[in-house]
Amino acid sequence: MPEGPSIVIIKEELQSFTGKKILKAEGNAKIDIARCKGLKIADFKSWGKHFLICFDGFFLRIHLLMFGTYRINERKETAPRLLFKFRGSEFSFYTCSIKLIEGHPDDHYDWEADTMNNDWNPKKAAKKLKKLKKTFVCDALLNQDIFAGVGNIIKNEVLFRIKIHPLSLVNKLPAKKLKEMIEDARDYSLQFYTWKKAFVLKKNWLIYKKPICPRCKIKAERTYLGKTDRLSSFCTKCQKLYNK
């Protein structure tokens, strides 16, 4: 599932279509795609894992789920969920969820919760986290109302970098560690973006899907943890468990 930084990259790659008139709109998404024909794209936005195609008065929300893809000026063999054709160019989306939403994105999204947004607000994140109490940090980091855009890779790498065991409880973290987790969720998201654009993201993974802890040189653990039941890669020696 693409994480927030990857969605920002999609936004940037499609930015040149802003202001262009849609000459053909089709696809098998269960929305009124024909409504978009003849309209000009007002803007592209991203919020967490949501990619937004904005028009005057409504927008399309695209979630790539686990295996969603997109193409610019080329197509896959499978039928697209959404295809927009312009004069001399086109783009399409596949295997994704698409919803048409009335109004403006500002009416639906809290930009301060998006770790990739310039309006990201760490103080608001801290306030929300303190309400979670007995929640595992591995679940808290995946809470999109707090850390929009953070996915499983970012979760694992952040917890390893700040030496916190994924089954630590939010309300048992020292204030310094809570602050560190919030700050690194943002910092790692920005680094993820840079590495992804340079095609070196996997080369910079420290613990995600790694067999050995690079700090302790012992076998790393890989198991599904938390209520979210997502894969966690961690070291039992250097990542401290805060649960008492």
Q: Which CATH architecture has domain 121-234?
A: Orthogonal Bundle (1.10)
* DSSP-based three-state secondary structure for 122: helix
Give me the residue spans of the domains in the chain.
Answer: 4-107, 121-234
CB atoms within 10 A of CB 145: 10
Q: What is the mean pLDDT of the chain?
A: 96
Q: Write out residues in the chain with pLDDT < 70, as ranges.
A: none
* CB-based contacts of 89, cutoff 8 Å, min separation 6: 17, 20, 72, 73
The stretches of the chain forming alpha helices (DSSP H) are 4-14, 122-129, 137-140, 152-161, 175-197
- Residues 170-200 have pLDDT tens digits of 999 999 999 999 999 999 999 999 999 999 9
- What CATH class has 4-107? alpha beta
Contact predicate 135/126, CB 8 Å = no
Report the half-sphere exposure of 234 (CA within 13 A, side-chain side): 28
- Residues 101-128 have pLDDT tens digits of 999 999 999 999 999 999 999 999 999 9
